[in-house]
């Protein structure tokens, strides 16, 4: 069932999500709702969705970008890379525009680690250890932030980066609040 996606001011998005105790029918139902909700997003399309975004503070997220599809439960970061920055131009090379379905039409240039190794459970309750790199790592880190009550605008603030509102062809810098 397609659920409503909570917007950035909602307190649910600011809570830490609880661990899933058991991957049971209820959890699989929630995952199915998350899939329906993510697939229903057209303008803009989403590349990931975390359970708190549909009102459930549980440690579950989906990634869905080109042929990268994952259902991730109780993720734990085992290892995280640091962007290798040698110069200012190099610095900008590691920035990728990031957005969020809880803040549709807003984007900011964010720098995230270029790889992350995560241990998690899949929808069958199987323990998986996987290394993600590049844009896939960015999606995974964005979604893990959601499970910790963090939004990408917090990361923009930390990095002193601007936020843009995008309407059609028009880009406008806006205040970060
Ligand atoms: Zn998001």
Neighbours of 18 (CB within 10 A): 13
Q: Summarize the confidence of residues 125-141 as an average pLDDT.
A: 96
User: Over the stretch 153-176, which tens digit does the pLDDT of each residue have?
Assistant: 999 999 999 999 998 888 899 987
Rounded to the nearest angstrom, the distance between the alpha carbon of 168 and the centre of ligand 1 is 21
Question: Which residues have a catalytic role annotated?
Answer: 143
Rounded to the nearest angstrom, the distance between the alpha carbon of 101 and the centre of ligand 1 is 6
pTM of the model: 0.93
Question: Is-contact 118 140, C-beta < 8 A?
Answer: yes
- What CA–CA distance (Å, rounded) separates 30 from 80? 29
User: Over the stretch 54-103, which tens digit does the pLDDT of each residue have?
Assistant: 999 999 999 999 999 999 999 999 999 976 555 555 556 667 889 999 99
Rounded to the nearest angstrom, the distance between the alpha carbon of 49 and the centre of ligand 1 is 6
Rounded to the nearest angstrom, the distance between the alpha carbon of 27 and the centre of ligand 1 is 20
Neighbours of 150 (CB within 10 A): 16
The secondary structure of 144-165 as a DSSP string is HHHHTT--HHHHHHHHT--EEE
User: pLDDT at position 68, please?
Assistant: 96
Question: Is-contact 74 110, C-beta < 8 A?
Answer: no
Q: Summarize the confidence of residues 15-43 as an average pLDDT.
A: 97
Q: Summarize the confidence of residues 102-130 as an average pLDDT.
A: 95
H runs (alpha helix) in 22-133: 25-39, 88-93
């Amino acid at each position: 069932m397609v659920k409503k996606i909570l917007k950035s001011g909602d307190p649910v998005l600011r809570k830490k999500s609880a661990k899933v105790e058991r991957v049971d029918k209820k959890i699989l139902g929630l995952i199915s709702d998350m899939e329906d909700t993510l697939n229903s997003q057209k303008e803009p399309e989403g590349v990931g969705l975390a359970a708190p975004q549909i009102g459930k503070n549980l440690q579950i997220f989906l990634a869905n970008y080109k042929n990268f599809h994952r259902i991730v439960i109780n993720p734990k970061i085992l290892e995280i890379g640091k962007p290798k920055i040698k110069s200012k131009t190099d610095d900008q090379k590691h920035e990728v525009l990031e957005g969020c379905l809880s803040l549709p039409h807003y984007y900011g240039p964010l720098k995230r680690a270029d790889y992350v190794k995560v241990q998690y459970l899949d929808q069958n309750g199987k323990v998986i250890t996987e290394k993600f790199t590049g844009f896939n790592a960015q999606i995974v880190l964005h979604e893990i932030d959601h499970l910790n009550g963090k939004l990408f605008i917090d990361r923009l603030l930390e990095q002193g980066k601007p936020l843009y509102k995008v309407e059609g062809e028009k880009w406008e810098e806006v205040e970060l609040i």
